[in-house]
Amino acid sequence: MPDLTAQLDSLYAHDCCSHVHLPDLADDDDLDRLIEAMVRQVWKDKGITPGTVNQDVTEAVARKLWAGVLQGYGKNPLDLDYETPDFNMLAALQKNVWQFSAAKNHTQLRQLTDALLDSEGKLRTFEQFKEAAFRINQDHMVRYLKAEYELAVAGAQMAGKWVDIEANKKTLPLLQFDAVMDTQTTALCKSLDGTILPVGHPFWNRFYPPNHWGCRSTVRQLASGVVTPESKIPSADIPDMFKTNLGKKGLIFPKDHPYFIGLPEEVIQPAARNATIPETFQKVYGKDFKNNPLPKEFWELVPENQYYGRSASSGRVYAGDAYFMPSTGDIIIKKGDRWKSSDLFKRRVVVHESAHAIHFKRKLITIDYIVPNIERRMKDLLESLENDGDIALLADKFRMSKHRDNIFELAALEKFNSYQPHELSELLVSALDAINGITIKGGARRVFGYGHAPTYMARNNNAYTEIFASIFENKFVGNPVWEHYFPTLYRDSIKLADDIINNELKK
């Protein structure tokens, strides 16, 4: 890929130093290990297919660039109120950083694939390929990445400043271009220095800093000043990539960066989802999951910008410890006694309520509609349940009066010693709540289970929404009590969750 290589070399050949604090991006043993594994995988597979990215390297790069954004912006979304201008700007920048990191890795993999062959089109030996790969990775992970980190810091500084500019433009209606004047200042920025124009003037759509790699220029917001006459407004030849107001558009890396050119859609869309844990979840509940996070695969399924809160939605006075509001899309989880006393409960309730948001927002199950294939497969779970035993006998065993005996039985088993009695009770109720829905909607002659009221389960698609949430709990958290009493149903519920994820949610 000589044309792209030359284009990137030219793009990153800049002399102006931004003087931001740069971590030693090259001195990272974990990143080195991931890159080595990526090189070996390219050699083993003899290249990549279009749309492929290495998820581990992509995430490592995204985390480094995001650290630059937080350094430059000076604020963390975890400390901000939801839907404030700063919060929304940082959410947009985070999405852009993840997409850029995926695009960067895809370009890197394409170049590594091209390096499998020598100039005569013959397959290189592994040692020859490693040598060529080293040069490619040095460019991408050292020289290019340092420049990209500089831009992440500088761009985030100017994005944060733009939020303040918009907030204060009624009292401070003018902007002045302010270049750092020293021996390293580019002719480009010198020519723009001192220009004063209104905030809404088109000039700022093109020349709002940063205007090049390593740009140190900024703007100063003024209440009054001598506005530059239209005839004397300067112009400058800036790189195409920077001919935009990145702060106004909520970007660090613009869409005409070479990494984005010709990029397959299947690279961009997962990267947008990977931006990954919703900010409101991180802010309200993130500290509770610091040492025991939910898996990445789960967060890839959660709708982008899903709102999580711990206070009741408007018009909703009481709905227990947790609920999903279809009318607003909110997930409300109260930090009550169960939340504080059980990590298991925290994980289960987040997955359960998030599953409601997933199926509702993806229109797999709504109040009056369910995807036919999912309805059929959920009804098939009745057969799995019947394989675990006679439903009439199971119903007698698990009727409410026997619930306490079942908990004592479970507590006596060695494998359940690590669970508190109330946790075992909740795991059993989770299983029986799903069974309640399965037997009601599956057409069983004998209905059993408890949790949600049978009248609730029979109404509309409520049973299916609860079954969906329960099988996602099994998939992402696990339920050893369900597995103990209903092994066939448990196994098949996870198979169904995988089936729905692969065939409906990853489309």
Each residue's pLDDT tens digit, 215-256: 999 999 999 999 999 999 998 888 888 999 999 999 999 988
Q: How confident is the model at residue 327 (pLDDT cuts 50, 70, 90)?
A: confident
pLDDT for position 283 = 80
Distance CA 304, CA 174 (A): 36
Who has greater pLDDT, 320 or 178? 178
As a residue count, the chain comes to 507
Global pTM? 0.64
The alpha carbon torsion through 205, 223, 89, 186 (nearest 10 deg) reads: 50
Q: Average pLDDT over the chain, rounded to whole?
A: 88
Residue 272 has pLDDT above 60, yes or no: no
Each residue's pLDDT tens digit, 304-319: 678 898 765 544 544 5
pLDDT for position 360 = 92
Each residue's pLDDT tens digit, 180-226: 999 888 999 999 999 999 999 999 999 999 999 889 999 999 999 99
pLDDT for position 271 = 57
Residue 366 has pLDDT above 80, yes or no: yes
pLDDT for position 492 = 97
pLDDT, mean of residues 258-278? 73
Who has greater pLDDT, 114 or 56? 114
Contact 351, 477 (CB under 8 A): yes
The helix (run of H) or strand (run of E) holding residue 87 is helix 85-114
pLDDT for position 401 = 63
Residue 486 has pLDDT above 90, yes or no: yes
pLDDT for position 18 = 52
Residue 171 has pLDDT above 80, yes or no: yes
Q: How confident is the model at residue 400 (pLDDT cuts 50, 70, 90)?
A: low
pLDDT for position 174 = 97
Question: 434: closest CA among 405, 457, 455, 416?
Answer: 457
Least confident interval from 149-158, 263-272, 321-330, 335-344: 263-272
Who has greater pLDDT, 196 or 449? 196
Q: What is the DSSP string of 139-167?
A: IIIIIIHHHHHHHHHHHHHHHHHHHHHHH
pLDDT for position 318 = 47
pLDDT for position 303 = 80
Q: What angle do CA 127, 131, 132 make, to 5 degrees?
A: 120
Residues 6+ apart with CB under 8 A from 393: none
pLDDT for position 451 = 87
Contact 483, 502 (CB under 8 A): no
Residue 27 has pLDDT above 90, yes or no: no
